[in-house]
Each structure stands twice: as C-alpha cells, then as structure tokens.
Structure 1
Amino acid sequence: MFEHHDTSLATRRFHLIGVGGAGMSVVAELLADRGAQVSGSDREASRVTEHLADLGVKVSIGHDAAHVPSDATVVVSTAIRPSNPELAIARTRGQEVIHRSEALALAATGLSFVAVAGAHGKTTTSGMLAVALGQAGRDPSVAVGGVLPEYGSGAHLGSGDVFVAEADESDGSFVNYQPSVAIVTNVEPDHLDRYGTRDAFEAVFVDFARRIVPGGQLIVCAEDAGAVRLAQSARDLGIRVVSYGRGPQSLEEPSVLVSDVELSRDGSRFTLFLACADPDVSGIPPTDVELSVPGEHNVLNAAAVWAAGLALGVAPEQMARGLSAFTGTARRFEFRGEVAGRRLFDDYAHHPTEVAAAIRQARLVAGSGTVTVVFQPHLYSRTRIFADDFARSLALADTVIVTDIYAAREDPEPGLDSSVISRKIPGAVFIPDMHEAARVAASTVPRDGILVTMGAGSVTTCGEDVLRAWSQELEEA
C-alpha cells in the first residue's frame, strides 16, 4: 500500500523508554506502521499504552533493564535521566541510543517533511495542517502531540508524500529535522531554564532554519517580534521566507495578509490576501476562510497552514475548504461536558501567552457567562521566571484557583510554590491539591458559566471531579 515509502525500517528493532508519553507514543506508532519491531516501557499503564499494545507494540510497565532487547536501538527523550535502568543497560552494552526526534526523522524517510515549531501553537497548527491536507486529498503522514479526532491518535501513516510533524524546541532537538517547509508560529522566550537568555533561545531557531533543505521555505508570523527577527536572519542566509499576519498588528509587511476578521463563539471568518508580489503564486485571488474553532490565535494558525499548503502545491480554495473541516485537537480548549448550563473545557496552556489566548477563547464561547480557571503551573523554573506574566494572563478570568506545580522533569525548588502566582491576582486562591481545587472551583460556577482546567500536567484528570460535583448539586436541588 505504501510502496513509495522507504522500507528499511522493517529490518530494525526499537525500544522506547517512556513510550506512553505524548511525543514518544506518536513515534512508537509511526515506527510500527513503517514495519519496525517496536517495544517500550512506561511507569504506569494508560489508555495510550493500551492503544499501543493493540497496535502490536510490546509494552512493559515499570522500568527494568530486562525490558530492553539487546539488538534494539533505544529511543529516549530529554526527560529520561541517565540513572534510568533501561538507558543504563543500553549504554553498558554499547547499544545505539537516539533522541525521539531522530527516530521521528527516520520514520519520515523519503517524504516531504513539514515541521511546525514555535514556543506555543505547534500542536494546533500542525493538526490543522494535517486535517486540511487530508481534506485536499494529500493524505499526509502525521506526528502531532495531541489526539486528532480524524485519526483517533496523534500519529498517522498516510499514503501521500508529505509528513507533518510538531517540532519541539524545548531541548533543541528540532535541529535534527531537515524540513522542506518550516512553520514558526512565534519565537517568544520559553525554556529559559535550558537556554538562559532570550538571545540564546532565538539563536536555536536560527539553527533550525538553517536545516531547511535548499529550495525550501520558512513561514513565520509577522506579528511576533522574535519570529520577525528570525525571518530577517533567514533571509540573510538565503532562505525563502513567507510571513503572515494582520496589517495593523504586523511588525513587517506580511506576505499573506489576514483581513476582515469576524470572531464568534463558534469560530471565525476572514479573508487571506497575497500582499507581496511573488512570481510563484501570481494570480491567486483573495481567499475566504471559515473556521470551526474560535479565537484570534487560530485565525493566525490558519493563515500559516494556508501558506504551507500553497508551498506544497495545494490550490488555495482547497486549503480553505480543508481548514473549515478542522475541529480541534485534544486538550486544546477541548469540551469535556455540560451540566445544567455550566460547561467544562480542558486546555494544555502552560505559557503565559497561551493562558491569555485560552481565556480570551473562553470569553468568546462564554458570551455573557463567567470564566473560571483551575490552573496547574508546569515546571518550577517556568513558574519562577514567568510568575508576573502568568498573573497578568490569569487575571483575565473572573475566578482563578491555582494548584500545586507539576514538576515534570524537574526537582522541586525549596520555598517555591504556586502562591507566587496566586498572591499577585486579586481574589485568586491557592489550593495545593488539584482535585480539591477542582471541586471548589465547580461550586463557584453559575449557570451559563465556563470552567477551564488548564495546564500541561495532570490537571487534565480533574474534569471528572467537576462534572461529578455539578451532577451531585443537580440531584440535591
């Protein structure tokens, strides 16, 4: 069925440590689809590990050196520590150890690679591009950090010649890719625990741009200062750059101009113009687009996707139709339930700009209703560095409850907790236990109000607490 794909992976074996993680599970699925023998391990069972097992991936629960086949290439992420027994045995044996991004690049062998990068917006934009290309008949292969309803997964091995991947800048691993088309949604400072300064963070994006294949294209947001600086550096390197944005908000004249934007609680309407003369796209008329996902940030994401579609040879009106079919990705303002007029959403936002965008999106959807947020900060370093920015963003909500920091790959910092954010917001409350925080928040939401569980960690599991509390209130009324 996939004769044009490279088949060399069919003779290889891979073992993925932390296989149940969002990024790693996608790689496992794609490697298995390409014919490789795949095994993996994770700390605990989940729906993700069960799904992988159903696909033929041998999944072990718990980390043990005995789980690692001696002939496997071992795949790790930056979160895997050297003391992990599976990584340790692989090193001792002299087995090949590669980063997740390198394994993903292997899975994309032989295809036109489209990498979507940026401090935020990567998952939605890459998912949007995958869906639009699929609707246009290109059936791309996909590696996205969130579940797409169209595939029931973040991974898909398509029959087409395009591979769409979310490219992670957090550890610099996106420089392992060689994209034909690269989208950068923004270069807003993040991961300063690793990079230290804004200049260092921006420099790695220039390194990423250098990896674009000759004749390829970089697509950047003209409304983001860091992305505009990246565009200038890329042009100096001889890389073709296309920028997109709304005229008044753009910091340079965009190649793709977004105009006539109409936002609603159900989505948006807008028009895309080619504002700069370009012999490769001459004669393209203005294109009207309708989106089924709300928020001005999604308007910009769609403009990037439309530009990428043109770079891949898809007709502009086909891309517009494909964009209208996108309904979102898991944990990106995902609707979780409604009880007596009160609605619950879940969002992955964990950077101040993402938090603000998610709350503005909630405002659109809520209309005259209130917006309540239960926020779980992600990483001690990010909480410390961006505490003031988080406070300003969260203050856009009517009610804010902040719960304990999700440590992820970090060790706790003595004396630092989430109150560094909550005490900067008038009326906000710090409740360390996330389940208690969710129940307290549920009790504050009036009819027609919205509650959003927000963060990149385990707070997503608290939705059941909210829905259960609302249902119990209804029964007792």
Structure 2
Amino acid sequence: MSFEGINSVHLLGIGGIGMSALARWFRHEGYAVSGYDRTPSQLTDQLISEGMQISFEDQLDTIPTEIRSSTEKVLIIWTPAMPKDSIQLNFFREGGYQLKKRSEVLGIVTSTYYTIAVAGTHGKTTTSSMVAHMLKSAGKPVIAFLGGITQNYQSNLILGEKKGKDQPLVVVEADEFDRSFLRLHPNEVVLTSADPDHLDIYGEEQQILNGFLEFVNLVDRKGRLYIQQHAAQRLGEAKLPKVAKREYGLRSSGISAENIQARPGSFVFDYLDGKNEIKGLELFIPGFHNVENALAAIAISLDHQISVEQIRKGISSFKGVKRRFEIHVNEGNQVFIDDYAHHPEEIKACLSSVRAMFPAKKLTVIFQPHLYSRTRDFAEGFSESLSLADSVVLLDIYAARELPIAGVTSAMLLEGINTNHKELVAKEDLMSYLDQASPEVLVTLGAGDIDRLVPEIASWMKEGLNRYAL
C-alpha cells in the first residue's frame, strides 16, 4: 500500500510522542491533518500552532466535517492505547474507513525509503536522535521519526534538505512494545540492548529475546547490523542474520571507546574500530551509556562516508533529547538532572555516570516507578540500582495503562535498597521534603508524570542558588 489518493489524515491519540511525529510528517508532506487526544498537552498545543485541528472530546461532532463526509480519501491512524469503546474509533471502523495502526504506517514509509531502524530495551531514543543529527549536520537528506523531543530541533521529527535526486535516509525508532517494530522494513538495524522488559506483553524473558531476534532478522541482506556486544551475546551469535555485522560496546573487540574522561558537563573519549581511530571526541550529553550510544552513531556515519571532522562537529553539537540525562542545574554546589529511566539497567547506567561526574558530592534520587507489573517483575533489580545513591525517595507507582496489583507498591522496594537514607514521599509533599533535605546532586527518574515536577524543582534550586549568592 502507498498513500496515493489520500488527502486527509486523522490520528486517534495524536498527542502521543510517536503519533505526533507521524502527524508532523504528513503535515509537512501537504496532507490535511487532524486528530483526537484525551487531554491537552504542550505537544498538542504545538501541533495546533503548526496548523493541525485537534479535539479533546471523543465525540462525533468534534471530527472535522471533511473527515466525516467522505471515506475515500481519508486515512485514519490509531494507537492501541485508544479504549475499545471509543466513539470515534468505532465510528471509523463501522463506517468503512481505511484504518492503520501507527506501526503499519511506519511500515509503509520504511518500505519506500532506505531506512536505519534503531531498537533496544534502552538507548534507542538517544541513539536514533544522534544518528539523525549526525546525518543532518553533515548535509545528508534525512527524515527521522523519534520517540523523544530533540534539544537541537525541539521536535520528534527531523527533516533534512533534499539534495537533487538523492532520496532521504529514514531514521526510525523501532519500538518493541506490542511487537510493533516487526512491521518495519529496515536496510540497516541498530540494536542497543536486549534486556527483559514489557513482560506484561511478552510473558517471559525468552519471548522478548525472540522478538528482538525476529526484528534484527528483518534487515535487508545487503544491509548492516550494528549490535551492542551484550545484546549480541544474549541473542546468540549463531542466530544473527548473515549480513555485515558491526559489534560495539565500551569494551568491545569490534567498535570501542578508550580514554573515557567524565567531566562535570561532558564525556571525552576516543573512538576505535580496527580501521579508524578518532581521538578526543567530546560529547555534551554525559554518561557512559551515551558514549556507547555515540559509538553506533559514529560507525554509521563513517559507513555513510561522513568525514572525521563532520563527525567531530556532529558529536560535539548534539544537545541530546529531553528527559534523557537532561541537566537542568549545574552551578555552585548544586546539580539537578532529570532522566526518563524506568528500568533497572537504565537507572544503573544513569546513576553510575552521575557518580563518575560528581564523585565527592552526596547523590539524592527521586524515583517514580512506572507500571505495577514492571515494579513487581524487576523489584530486586530496582532496589539494587537505586542503592547507588546516598539517599532515595520513592513516589507512588505511576499506573499508566494498568490496574493496581494486590501487594505491589513502591514500599516493596525499600527493604532491598542499601543506602544511608530511604523513604516514601507523597508527590504533593515532595517540595516540602526538598526544602528540608537540601540535596547537593539531585536526580529525578521515571517514565510517568514525574516530569511535571521538573520545572518546579529546577526553579526551586535556582532560587536557592540566587539567595545563597546574595
């Protein structure tokens, strides 16, 4: 299928990070774009300002007239997050409209263009954003569908200028949730990690490994596979596709990083791959895990004939992704970092990097667990990772799409956390707690709504610094 004959696109769940990137692409391509979402957000405000018609009431009369009056030239894109009793969704289903899931639409796009697909339990948003930025900053035509808002472009859609007849390279974040990445048609694949997650979908660890294995085997036989060393071990070398493979990792025998230096606002490292050595690269999104993500982006850049000087410029100019090791305050004796980490391995990577950057400072972590099932399945791992901090504050579990599970609460993590201080704090009491605690290095973690507290925490810390200066 192609999009020939379509002139209007209506997205159900348009405010989602993946759906909004598609909405922006269709708008850029000249389609009339409208949609529905349950609640307004900063992202939906931006989409409206970009010319899209969005409603927040699941009613028929909020659907644009041109969408309701014709089925022939309309594409409806929906997300599985839509409730089964949605009035709009059922209207479109019963009315003979052409309905496609977001993953199906991305499948169509990736079947049309040369595609670099980035997957992994963690690291895929930063890595795909970095790959896209490296290509764009080097002047390559690019289209990137991302799972986060890039700081360089303030968008989850990156568009590069077309160069004559050159077709754009598509960079897409390949999401393992609901196995949606299996609809893609990648020419190149990056697998950043293959740790167990989404066990509410996959059931057991081996099933998610099977899902990643099925995904990497989608790669075009003339393409390339860039795979993190531990992910390769977990999937089994013998089961990987028979294509050009580039293994990478901080200590990989393939592509590796040496002479890593953790600085207060950056990491400096050397890139080595057996053929190329690039010394003194400086990455201004700190973290050992981000150095590892950069290895994949650099390897792809070299394979696409991007020069060493362009690579050096691309790495140093990359500003990261919102809520991925995002430093909000770093002045005086106080630091505030916010991160989307919601899996034990992500928390471990984040806190290990913070420790390396600020080894002499007291580290306080505020963590909001995401999903009852994930908290239950990885309780021991969460407690172990959080023990890297000096002080741990736990908020209540963010339920997201789930109903409560008996006996599963944030409190179940406390006993296994080995720190000097640990406690539960209600979200509404958090600012009062911070007033009393006066943290030196503060890190907020979680994939729920903890991000809504970030501006207030940042303002609170900056106000304190100003008072101290006076």
Task: Give the structure-2-normalised TM-score.
Answer: 0.89
1:230 to 219, 232, 235: 235
1:68-89 Cα distance to aligned partner (Å, 9 max, x none): 4343322222322322222222
Aligned amino acid, residue 243 of structure 2: I
* Distance in 2 separating the partners of 1:472 and 1:232: 53
Structure 2 counterpart of 1:342? 334
| Aligned length in residues | 453
1:304 to 1:470, Cα distance in 2 relative to 1, 3 A: closer
Aligned amino acid, residue 440 of structure 1: Y
* Distance in 2 separating the partners of 1:442 and 1:189: 37
Retained in 2: the 8 A contact 1:374–1:437? no
* Distance in 2 separating the partners of 1:271 and 1:471: 35
Structure 1 counterpart of 2:243? 239
Aligned amino acid, residue 205 of structure 2: R
* Shift in Å, 1:364: 3.2
Alignment of 1:24-173 (within 5 A): 24-68=19-63, 69-70=67-68, 71=71, 72-108=74-110, 110-160=112-162, 161-173=168-180
Structure 2 counterpart of 1:443? 436
* Distance in 2 separating the partners of 1:97 and 1:243: 39
Structure 2 counterpart of 1:279? none
Tell me the SS of whatever aligns to 1:383.
Answer: helix
Retained in 2: the 8 A contact 1:265–1:367? no
Retained in 2: the 8 A contact 1:439–1:465? no
Aligned amino acid, residue 182 of structure 1: V
* Shift in Å, 1:188: 0.7
Retained in 1: the 8 A contact 2:111–2:184? no
Retained in 1: the 8 A contact 2:285–2:325? no
1:377 to 369, 387, 395: 369
Alignment of 1:9-28 (within 5 A): 11-28=6-23
Retained in 2: the 8 A contact 1:377–1:418? yes
* Distance in 1 separating the partners of 2:4 and 2:238: 36
Aligned amino acid, residue 161 of structure 2: S
* Distance in 2 separating the partners of 1:9 and 1:322: 36
* Distance in 1 separating the partners of 2:459 and 2:34: 37
1:215 to 1:468, Cα distance in 2 relative to 1, 3 A: closer
Retained in 1: the 8 A contact 2:143–2:159? yes
Alignment of 1:241-390 (within 5 A): 241-247=245-251, 250=252, 253-254=253-254, 256-275=255-274, 284-288=275-279, 289-337=281-329, 341-390=333-382
Aligned amino acid, residue 13 of structure 1: S
* RMSD of aligned Cα (Å): 2.4
* Distance in 1 separating the partners of 2:32 and 2:141: 24
1:123-157 Cα distance to aligned partner (Å, 9 max, x none): 11111111111221114211111111221111122
Aligned amino acid, residue 149 of structure 1: Q
Q: Note if 1:456 corresponds to 2:447.
A: yes
1:351-384 Cα distance to aligned partner (Å, 9 max, x none): 1111111112222343422221111111111010
Q: Note if 1:422 corresponds to 2:424.
A: no
Retained in 2: the 8 A contact 1:9–1:36? no
Q: Tell me, which stretches of 5 or more residues in structure 1 are unaligned?
A: 1-5, 276-283
* Distance in 2 separating the partners of 1:78 and 1:184: 24
Aligned amino acid, residue 410 of structure 1: E
Aligned amino acid, residue 400 of structure 1: V
* Shift in Å, 1:92: 1.8
1:39 to 1:290, Cα distance in 2 relative to 1, 3 A: same
Task: Give the structure-1-normalised TM-score.
Answer: 0.88
Tell me the SS of whatever aligns to 1:373.
Answer: strand
1:165-190 Cα distance to aligned partner (Å, 9 max, x none): 11101111011111111110010111
Q: Note if 1:196 corresponds to 2:198.
A: no
Structure 1 counterpart of 2:165? none
Tell me the SS of whatever aligns to 1:148.
Answer: coil
1:476 to 1:56, Cα distance in 2 relative to 1, 3 A: closer
**Could you tell which deviates more after superposition, 123-132 or 205-214?**
205-214
Aligned amino acid, residue 33 of structure 2: V
* Distance in 1 separating the partners of 2:58 and 2:39: 10
* Shift in Å, 1:419: 0.8
Tell me the SS of whatever aligns to 1:193.
Answer: helix
1:285 to 1:342, Cα distance in 2 relative to 1, 3 A: closer
1:150 to 1:416, Cα distance in 2 relative to 1, 3 A: same
* Distance in 1 separating the partners of 2:191 and 2:127: 10
* Shift in Å, 1:473: 6.1
1:308 to 1:285, Cα distance in 2 relative to 1, 3 A: closer
Query: Identity, % of aligned pairs?
Result: 33
**Could you tell which deviates more after superposition, 131-140 or 72-81?**
72-81
1:246-299 Cα distance to aligned partner (Å, 9 max, x none): 33xx4xx42x23323222222222222223xxxxxxxx4312222122211111
* Distance in 2 separating the partners of 1:476 and 1:134: 42
Retained in 1: the 8 A contact 2:10–2:33? yes
Retained in 2: the 8 A contact 1:372–1:445? no
Tell me the SS of whatever aligns to 1:172.
Answer: helix
* Distance in 2 separating the partners of 1:151 and 1:106: 25
Tell me the SS of whatever aligns to 1:171.
Answer: helix
Tell me the SS of whatever aligns to 2:35.
Answer: strand
Tell me the SS of whatever aligns to 1:53.
Answer: helix
Aligned amino acid, residue 265 of structure 2: D
Retained in 2: the 8 A contact 1:403–1:430? yes
* Shift in Å, 1:234: 5.0
Retained in 2: the 8 A contact 1:220–1:228? no
* Shift in Å, 1:342: 2.6
Structure 2 counterpart of 1:281? none
Retained in 2: the 8 A contact 1:7–1:34? no
* Distance in 2 separating the partners of 1:65 and 1:103: 24
Q: Tell me, which stretches of 5 or more residues in structure 2 are unaligned?
A: 163-167
1:279-324 Cα distance to aligned partner (Å, 9 max, x none): xxxxx43122221222111111111111122333323443233112
* Distance in 2 separating the partners of 1:273 and 1:469: 43
Structure 2 counterpart of 1:280? none
